[in-house]
Amino acid sequence: MPNLYSYKARDAYGKVVNGQIHADDINRAAELIRQRSLTVLDLSPGKTKAKSVSLFQKKKVTLREFAVFCRQMSTMVNAGVTIMSSISAIAAQADNPLMAEILSDIGKELETGRTFSEACMKHKDFFPSIFTSMVEAGETSGALDEVMERMAEYFENQAEILEKVKSATTYPSFIGVAAIIVVVVLMLTVIPGFATMFSDSGMELPTITRILIFISDIMKSYFYIVFPLLGLGIFLFIRWSKTTQGRYAIQRVSLKLPKFGVIFKNSAIGRFCRSLSILVSSGVPMMQALEIVARVVNNVEYSSAILYARRAVSEGMNLSQGLSNSPHFTPLVMHMLKVGEEAGALDEMLGKVADFYESEVKYTVDRLSSIIEPLMILFLAVLVGIILAAVMLPMFKMSGAVDL
């Protein structure tokens, strides 16, 4: 079993780097370090760092962090640093423990003679299919630095869109939760007191007041049933949404939502065009590229259409012909695809279409966020107003009876 050695070395640019390496003996360790274009300054048996367990330890890598990784790899490879040295350096300074752990394992795979793409394939849950295929194409063509640059731009753009969507939904979500809390507090504390007062008066209550009191009675008398059932329902829905069937059902429904459906459609089209453009321009075969894009597009409806087009392409048809039967791709996409195929510039045309739809997604999200915020405030105001009206109407009636 290989031993672990800790080393201090100087790279080709004079920078001192620290790291650990697995080797059969200290001489083999020194040889492996020199193969990384490093000059050994210190080499000694190392100790495996104990993995600290923390409730707050990150268990996933965000798109932004992955984009930074691609950018760092592009810069270092372009500067002439070897893949193994680049991986070791990035792993040593990674703030995310999961990324550091996986990159360290990648480094060990590289030491055994595997290529970067082969090492990435071992961690399919971490490295997206498009990334692994692009790395493989970059290794074959000798343009890995350009590939990593494209991947950095791709993931940075995807992260920007995701952050815009999150930003647009954060405030409405906060208002929605606040509305629920306000209603529950009023129903459990305020309404029962007024219900008793109205009952003692013996007066006939308005319909809205009777409905409100009925709901309040149910919530207060059966809270030990209502709230656990509500919590169970939310739990089961979240669990169902993580299954394949639930995820596909949600993806289908998302395309039909008013206003938001346009965002999901344009996002899927933009992701399809951008991914396919990058893969085709990097020399990935069309059949393999379509298979990858079908997974990357992240919507079952579009994935099905892409896989259908893949079968059509395997039978000798053009991509535009294969996608022509799908209602999910707009006439603009179909026209640009056809022009690109005829001109022999499919990747360029796909890139232009991706630019358009990604811009549309950002614009639509910004526009909706400016509309949703006042609508949610209005919703909260109407909700509280209904409750106040249900309480005040009988009180006005009682006040009028007293004056008479």
Q: Are both 165 and 122 inside the same structural domain? A: no
Rounded to whole angstroms, the Cα distance separating 284 from 279 reads: 5
Q: Are both 252 and 301 inside the same structural domain? A: yes
What is the count of structural domains for the chain? 3
Question: If pLDDT is split at 50, 70 and 90, which confidence band does 400 have?
Answer: low
The closest of 121, 145, 123 to 133, measured between CA atoms, is: 121
Lowest-pLDDT range of 10-24, 38-52, 84-98, 100-114: 38-52
Here the CATH number for the domain that contains residue 386 is 1.20.81.30
Q: Are both 72 and 178 inside the same structural domain? A: no
Task: Give tens-digit pLDDT for 226-240.
Answer: 889 989 999 999 999
**Within a domain: 144:** no
Rounded to whole angstroms, the Cα distance separating 228 from 224 reads: 6
Lowest-pLDDT range of 33-42, 126-135, 183-192: 33-42
Lowest-pLDDT range of 27-36, 93-102, 235-244: 27-36
Task: Give tens-digit pLDDT for 308-361.
Answer: 999 999 988 889 899 988 888 989 999 999 999 888 888 899 999 999 998 998
Q: Are both 179 and 75 inside the same structural domain? A: no
What pLDDT is stored for residue 59 in this prediction?
55
Q: Are both 228 and 305 inside the same structural domain? A: yes
Is the confidence at residue 187, as pLDDT, over 90? Answer: no
Q: Are both 197 and 310 inside the same structural domain? A: yes
**Within a domain: 53:** no
Average pLDDT of span 247-268: 88
**Within a domain: 390:** yes
Cα–Cα–Cα angle for 16, 22, 9, nearest 5°?
A: 10
**Within a domain: 58:** no
Q: Are both 120 and 255 inside the same structural domain? A: no
* Percentage of the residues of the chain whose pLDDT score is greater than 90: 9
Q: Are both 95 and 168 inside the same structural domain? A: no
Q: Are both 198 and 341 inside the same structural domain? A: yes
Q: Are both 267 and 332 inside the same structural domain? A: yes
Expressed as residue numbers, the domain containing 249 is: 157-404
Average pLDDT of span 187-193: 85
**Within a domain: 206:** yes
What pLDDT is stored for residue 56 in this prediction?
37
Question: Which of 50-59, 79-88, 349-358: highest mean pLDDT?
Answer: 349-358
Higher pLDDT among residues 400 and 236, named by residue:
236
Rounded to whole angstroms, the Cα distance separating 335 from 348 reads: 14
Q: How does the average pLDDT of the chain come out, rounded?
A: 82
In 10 A of CB 174, how many CB atoms? 11
Q: Are both 25 and 73 inside the same structural domain? A: no
**Within a domain: 56:** no
What letter represents residue 96's amino acid? N
Is the confidence at residue 404, as pLDDT, over 60? Answer: no
Task: Give tens-digit pLDDT for 290-308.
Answer: 988 888 888 889 999 999 9
| pTM (predicted TM-score) | 0.70
**Within a domain: 143:** no
**Within a domain: 254:** yes
Q: Are both 25 and 76 inside the same structural domain? A: no
